[in-house]
């Protein structure tokens, strides 16, 4: 056995010769960002060999200087003797994102109020289907010695009109002692199912009818967000979000799926989302609110199709391979105990149905909360999270497609990228004369990277200030120290010099990053135009555009048009609607009618497979330019460029 020691974590682990250094780090619970999951393509798993040697080779992601200093890519290195490995502090940048943050309460409340309006304006009831009832049972005697459960059933039949009462074994097990805590005075939580049927899911001694709580959860590939909601009224009690701990096994869904095919891979990914991501978020909210996990009796979750599979521990590999078949789109009945979620174990977990392999429940939920389904106007809904999904339609029809945009909008596969969390540069301006940037970042500490909205600003400003051309290539010989080129001729723009904030290294955006992002934005633009063209329509027929997803609150709509990500329509038509998936989950949590509407929507959305459209590839290539090879499609941008 060989010894591998990681510093500064100071973790040592014994391994066999030939093991991958990235896998060894995972075993040792030393987190090294590896969005491409060990393909050697992203270059993020850079670490330094301090002592000993590893079996490795130089990568295009390593500069000569770095290579000479002992830097290697962990994913491309195998252990061959005892080594000491130094993990740079930025190598775990995905883990920065794992920090749990409370959502900004007021903003969310406002958004939720707007979503609630969708329900009320359409004549639907804003009321949860779960009930609490305080009951005082007759005390048992020798003459009235029916069983505990029969006693409850008799009471519910005689007093509340339920003639068929069910419960499951764990509830039965809790029953005898709880009944006797306060002389057979208890509060039951139950789910009426019509026709006099109901199922008891919780029992508490005494009167606790004022406490009834649920969870809404959005499971993003990059970020996970949750709300704890008072089911009686719909008030937000607590909110929290963090990165998805699966990130260390791959930044996008394809890499996650590939990881799931490894030995125990599916379990590792399932644990990462349930135990390492969701449960900590739940605990944080319980701590903030003083609510006990047993009080959570309703749970709505949404995620893309891959996230849905991994959340349930269902093997997703057939999603990846033609003909791209999911195991399910509508999940079965699931109890919290089956998933190990830290809520009341009897709670029914409602996972929002997907539409297709690459249009998941997050989109179904987003469509519900956005209200497209009740609109007379033509609405274009774009979810800019990892990948990017598009829905177009109105109250008559809904078309949807998925774009292979990758994780760039959430900072994935961008060397300086990070999700919209503390330390993320979310806005950038560049002085046209000095080429100096003006940044604003989330939090008060220091900038750590750039999130999606910041990258859009950057790319837009770089082009409009003449630092890059319309292909995104940096112009040489500009009078600024902000632009530099490495020995291979690849340029980068320095957003933050390390000295400015005492960082370990500069925050830069490279031509490779710009190229990655241009491909991501091109995927969105070509996706939406292909969808519209298929309907015999064009961008002029769009009445409104809703942008949702993890790209960040600070998304600059103008800049998004200027780089050709969004079509050149009047800016007033476009709005950022935030985490519409989480909003949709909230609506389902609070409205049984909303859930029925959602299920109807998931059945009636028409999925368009872009890769099957012969025009899509051409559209994509034309869009891989700033803003587009056909500048006539962006008349206002053309004007600006001509100024």
Closest distance between its own copies and the C-beta of residue 156, in Å?
A: 15
Residues 161-180 that bind its own copies (CB under 8 A): 166-173, 175-177, 180
327 contributes a contact to its own copies by CB under 8 A: yes
- In this structure, the strands spanning 424-430 and 437-441 are antiparallel
Distance between CA 442 and CA 448 in Å, rounded?
Answer: 10
Distance between CA 608 and CA 532 in Å, rounded?
Answer: 11
Q: Residues 16, 68, 123, 142: which binds its own copies (CB under 8 A)?
A: 142
Please identify, using beta-carbon distances, which residue of 137 and 237 lies nearer to its own copies.
137
Q: How does 376-411 read in b/e, with b if 16+ C-beta sit within 10 Å?
A: eebbbbbbbbbbbbbbbbbeeebbbbbbbbbbbbbb
The token pair at 270 is 């399932």
DSSP 8-class letter at 232: T
Give the neighbor-by-neighbor strand order of the sheet with 483-485: 483-485, 491-496, 507-510
> Given the rule CB under 8 A, which of 288-296, 313-321, 379-387, 469-477 is the region that contacts its own copies?
313-321
140 contributes a contact to its own copies by CB under 8 A: yes
Distance between CA 321 and CA 146 in Å, rounded?
Answer: 58
Closest distance between its own copies and the C-beta of residue 166, in Å?
A: 7
**By the 8 A CB rule, do 471 and 511 touch?**
no
Residues 335-354 that bind its own copies (CB under 8 A): 338
**By the 8 A CB rule, do 69 and 49 touch?**
no
Task: Tell whether omega for the bond before 8 is within 30 degrees of 0, i.e. cis.
Answer: yes
> Given the rule CB under 8 A, which of 112-120, 288-296, 330-338, 615-623 is the region that contacts its own copies?
330-338
Q: Residues 1, 195, 264, 322: which binds its own copies (CB under 8 A)?
A: 322
Closest distance between its own copies and the C-beta of residue 581, in Å?
A: 20
Please identify, using beta-carbon distances, which residue of 29 and 338 lies nearer to its own copies.
338
315 contributes a contact to its own copies by CB under 8 A: yes
Residues 177-216 that bind its own copies (CB under 8 A): 177, 180
Closest distance between its own copies and the C-beta of residue 167, in Å?
A: 5
**By the 8 A CB rule, do 308 and 270 touch?**
no
145 contributes a contact to its own copies by CB under 8 A: yes
- Of the candidates 369, 348, 261, which has an alpha carbon nearest to the alpha carbon of residue 309? 261
Closest distance between its own copies and the C-beta of residue 256, in Å?
A: 16
**By the 8 A CB rule, do 228 and 215 touch?**
yes
Q: Residues 32, 34, 312, 352: which binds its own copies (CB under 8 A)?
A: 312
Closest distance between its own copies and the C-beta of residue 215, in Å?
A: 18
Please identify, using beta-carbon distances, which residue of 10 and 141 lies nearer to its own copies.
141
357 contributes a contact to its own copies by CB under 8 A: yes
- In this structure, the strands spanning 544-548 and 574-578 are parallel
328 contributes a contact to its own copies by CB under 8 A: yes
**By the 8 A CB rule, do 237 and 315 touch?**
no
Q: Residues 332, 489, 536, 614: which binds its own copies (CB under 8 A)?
A: 332
Please identify, using beta-carbon distances, which residue of 314 and 539 lies nearer to its own copies.
314
The token pair at 164 is 């068929």
Residues 577-616 that bind its own copies (CB under 8 A): 609, 612
Please identify, using beta-carbon distances, which residue of 298 and 357 lies nearer to its own copies.
357
Closest distance between its own copies and the C-beta of residue 152, in Å?
A: 10
Dihedrals phi, psi of 196, to nearest 5 degrees: 75, 10
324 contributes a contact to its own copies by CB under 8 A: yes
Return the residue matching tokens 């006693």: 151
Please identify, using beta-carbon distances, which residue of 312 and 507 lies nearer to its own copies.
312
The token pair at 121 is 């304006």
**By the 8 A CB rule, do 520 and 500 touch?**
no
Residues that bind its own copies (rule: CB under 8 A) add up to a total of 46
306 contributes a contact to its own copies by CB under 8 A: no
Length of the chain: 643
Closest distance between its own copies and the C-beta of residue 395, in Å?
A: 25
Please identify, using beta-carbon distances, which residue of 341 and 583 lies nearer to its own copies.
341
Q: Residues 35, 234, 326, 366: which binds its own copies (CB under 8 A)?
A: 326
CB within 8 Å of 453: residues ≥ 6 apart: 420, 426, 427, 551, 552, 553, 554, 555, 556
Residue ranges in contact with its own copies by CB under 8 A: 140-142, 144-150, 166-173, 175-177, 180, 312-315, 317-318, 322-334, 338, 356-357, 609, 612
């Amino acid at each position: 056995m060989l010894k591998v020691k990681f510093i500064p974590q100071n973790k040592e682990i014994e391994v066999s010769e030939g093991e991958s250094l990235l896998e060894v780090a995972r075993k040792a619970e030393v987190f090294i960002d590896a969005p491409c999951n060990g393909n050697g393509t992203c270059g993020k798993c850079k670490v330094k060999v301090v002592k000993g040697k590893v079996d490795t080779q130089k990568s295009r992601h390593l500069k000569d200087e770095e290579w000479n200093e002992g830097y290697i890519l962990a994913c491309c290195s195998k252990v061959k003797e005892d080594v000491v490995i130094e993990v740079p502090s930025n190598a775990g940048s995905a883990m920065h994102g794992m920090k749990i943050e409370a959502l900004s309460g007021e903003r969310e409340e406002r958004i939720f109020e707007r979503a609630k309006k969708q329900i009320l304006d359409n004549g639907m009831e804003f009321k949860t289907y779960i009930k609490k009832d305080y009951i005082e049972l007759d005390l048992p005697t020798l003459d009235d010695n029916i069983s505990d459960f029969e006693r409850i059933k008799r009471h519910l039949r005689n007093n509340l009109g339920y003639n068929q009462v069910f419960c499951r074994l764990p509830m039965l097990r809790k029953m005898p002692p709880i009944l006797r805590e306060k002389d057979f005075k208890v509060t039951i939580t139950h789910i009426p199912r019509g026709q006099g049927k109901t199922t008891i899911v919780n029992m508490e001694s005494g009167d606790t009818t004022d406490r009834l709580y649920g969870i809404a959860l959005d499971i993003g590939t990059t970020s996970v967000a949750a709300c704890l909601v008072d089911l009686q009224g719909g008030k937000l009690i607590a909110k929290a979000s963090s990165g998805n701990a699966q990130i260390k096994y791959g930044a996008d869904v394809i890499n996650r799926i590939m990881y799931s095919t490894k030995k125990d891979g599916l379990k590792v990914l399932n644990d990462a989302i349930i135990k390492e991501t969701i449960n900590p978020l739940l605990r944080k909210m319980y701590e903030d609110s003083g609510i006990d996990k047993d009080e959570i009796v309703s749970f709505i979750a949404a995620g893309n199709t891959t996230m849905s599979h991994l959340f349930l521990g269902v093997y997703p590999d057939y999603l990846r391979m033609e003909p791209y078949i999911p195991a399910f789109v509508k999940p079965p009945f699931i109890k919290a105990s089956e998933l190990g979620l830290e809520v009341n174990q009897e709670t029914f977990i409602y996972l929002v149905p997907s539409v297709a392999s690459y249009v998941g429940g997050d989109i179904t939920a987003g469509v519900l909360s956005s209200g497209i389904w009740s609109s007379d106007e033509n609405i274009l809904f774009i979810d800019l999270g990892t990948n990017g999904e598009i829905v177009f339609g109105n109250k008559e029809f809904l078309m949807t497609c998925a774009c292979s945009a990758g994780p760039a909008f959430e900072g994935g596969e961008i060397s300086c990228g990070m999700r919209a969390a503390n330390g993320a540069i979310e806005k950038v301006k560049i002085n046209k004369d000095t080429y100096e940037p003006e940044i604003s970042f989330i939090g008060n500490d220091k900038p750590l990277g750039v999130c999606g909205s910041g990258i859009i600003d950057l790319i837009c400003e770089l082009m409009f200030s003449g630092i890059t051309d319309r292909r995104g290539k940096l112009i040489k010989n500009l009078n600024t120290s902000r632009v530099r080129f490495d020995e291979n001729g690849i340029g980068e723009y320095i957003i933050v010099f390390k000295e400015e904030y005492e960082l370990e290294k500069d925050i830069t955006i490279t031509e490779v990053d710009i190229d990655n992002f241009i491909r991501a934005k091109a995927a969105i633009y070509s996706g939406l135009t292909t969808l519209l063209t298929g309907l015999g329509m064009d961008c002029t027929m769009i009445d409104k555009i809703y942008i949702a997803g993890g790209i960040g609150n600070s998304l600059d709509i103008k800049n998004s048009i200027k780089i050709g990500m969004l079509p050149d329509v009047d800016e007033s038509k476009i709005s950022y609607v935030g985490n519409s998936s989480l909003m949709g989950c909230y609506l389902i949590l609070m409205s049984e009618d909303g859930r029925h509407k959602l299920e109807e929507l998931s059945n009636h959305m028409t999925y368009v497979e872009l890769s099957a459209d012969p025009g899509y590839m051409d559209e994509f290539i034309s869009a891989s330019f700033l803003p587009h090879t056909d500048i006539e499609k962006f008349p206002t941008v053309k004007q600006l460029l001509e100024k």
